[in-house]
């Protein structure tokens, strides 16, 4: 059953990237993240009351709460980096790097969770790594130093997103071991929400909320719903399935993202990028053997 939840997470995560990209066209990425998180939080708590998991609040231990908070902080940092990268870079460039967190997660799962790295997992890691490298297309920006700096900024944020996403998975896996996954997701979301709004006020971007147009509001709302659905599926799968397999399946959202980016943003893959995507998918599917 956890495999189905993992694939559900991938589908909703893929939709999240596209909807969020539409929503942050004319909106500060940090503000957009903070607003989306409100939607995710509401959605998460609705699900808690639907499944009757609210009674589990009384049984949360200090250790569980600690790891949920740390996981939430990592998620917030990953989101802030990811949506900043999406705002200044192409979806087809940012997404593969963000999904490369799969490799780091598998290594961390081996170190901290005791999950074995088999021959198949090792081969999968190599395929995913090569595929990611092929999908990172370098863009010629000429000799202007400022242009070069701006063109590489998205890469910095995308890498940050990948690192924090890996930490999120490991910390989250530990944090939801003894509680309902929906409840764990909701608690983590509270941390993300606080962190996101702190960043907004520290950067002085709160006044830009007034300038958000109607279309952006719609896409931010829809991306929040998609994120909430993805999280609920993801942490349900992570609770019963191995992190070294759940995470790679979740990263198949890259397929959904790239297909939609072609139709919505007219972003096309080169032959090199297409080969990279094929290797990433092959490596991920190999983990199901």
Tell me what pLDDT residue 146 has: 52
Greater model confidence, 24 or 206: 206
Q: Work out the pLDDT band at 50, boundaries 50, 70, 90.
A: confident
Question: In this prediction, what percent of the chain has a pLDDT beyond 90?
Answer: 27
Q: Which tokens in the block code for residue 221?
A: 């709302």
The whole-number pLDDT of residue 259 equals 82
**Residues near 108 by Cβ (< 8 Å), separated by ≥ 6?**
166, 167, 169, 170
CB 141 within 8 A of CB 286: no
Residue 78 has pLDDT above 50, yes or no: yes
pLDDT attached to residue 141 = 47
Taking residues 54-81, what's their average pLDDT?
90
Q: State residue 69's pLDDT score.
A: 94
Q: Rounded to two decimals, what is the model's pTM?
A: 0.74
Q: Any idea which residue has 């999406």 for tokens?
A: 86
Decide which of 287 and 282 is more confident. 282
Instruction: Using the predicted structure, report yes or no on whether residue 231 has a pLDDT greater than 50.
Output: yes
Is the pLDDT confidence value at 25 over 80?
no
Q: Which domain holds residue 131?
A: 2-139+146-286
pLDDT, tens only, 58-69: 888 999 999 999
* Average pLDDT over every residue of 248-271: 80
Of 91 and 259, the one with more pLDDT: 259
Q: How many domains does the chain have?
A: 1
Predicted local confidence at residue 54, as pLDDT:
86
Which tens digit of pLDDT belongs to each residue from 147-165?
455 557 888 898 999 999 8
pLDDT for position 145: 54
Residue 210 reports pLDDT greater than 50: yes
State the pLDDT confidence band at 140, using cuts at 50, 70 and 90.
Answer: very low
Within the chain, residue ranges assigned H as helices are 2-23, 29-51, 62-88, 91-99, 101-112, 119-135, 145-175, 181-202, 214-240, 243-250, 253-264, 271-286
CB 123 within 8 A of CB 40: no
The mean pLDDT value of the chain amounts to: 85
What angle in degrees, to the nearest 10, is found between the helix axes of 145-175 and 243-250? 140
* Model confidence band, residue 137 (pLDDT cutoffs 50, 70, 90): low
Asked if residue 289 lies in contact with residue 245, where contact means CB atoms within 8 angstroms, the answer is no
């Amino acid at each position: 059953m956890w495999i189905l939840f993992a694939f559900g997470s991938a589908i909703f995560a893929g939709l999240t990237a596209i909807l969020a990209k539409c929503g942050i066209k004319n909106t500060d990425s940090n503000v957009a993240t903070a607003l989306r998180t409100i939607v995710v939080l509401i959605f998460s708590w609705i699900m808690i009351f639907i499944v009757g998991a609210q009674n589990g609040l009384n049984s949360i231990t200090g250790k569980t709460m600690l790891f949920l908070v740390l996981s939430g902080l990592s998620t917030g940092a990953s989101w802030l980096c990811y949506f900043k990268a999406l705002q200044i870079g192409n979806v087809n460039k940012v997404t593969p790097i963000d999904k490369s967190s799969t490799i780091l997660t598998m290594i961390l799962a081996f170190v901290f969770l005791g999950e074995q790295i088999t021959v198949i997992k090792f081969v999968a890691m190599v395929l995913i790594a090569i595929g990611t490298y092929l999908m990172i297309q370098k863009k010629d920006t000429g000799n202007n130093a400022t242009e070069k700096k701006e063109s590489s900024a998205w890469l910095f944020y995308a890498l940050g997103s990948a690192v924090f996403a890996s930490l999120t998975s490991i910390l989250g896996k530990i944090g939801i071991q003894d509680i309902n996954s929906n409840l764990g997701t909701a608690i983590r979301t509270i941390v993300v929400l606080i962190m996101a709004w702190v960043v907004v006020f520290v950067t002085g971007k709160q006044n830009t909320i007034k300038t958000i147009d109607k279309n952006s509001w719609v896409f931010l709302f829809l991306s929040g719903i998609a994120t909430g659905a993805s999280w609920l599926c993801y942490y349900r799968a992570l609770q019963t399935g191995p992190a070294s397999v759940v995470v790679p399946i979740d990263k198949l959202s890259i397929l959904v993202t790239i297909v939609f980016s072609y139709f919505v943003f007219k972003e096309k893959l080169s032959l090199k990028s297409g080969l990279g995507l094929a290797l990433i998918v092959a490596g991920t599917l190999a983990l199901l053997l």
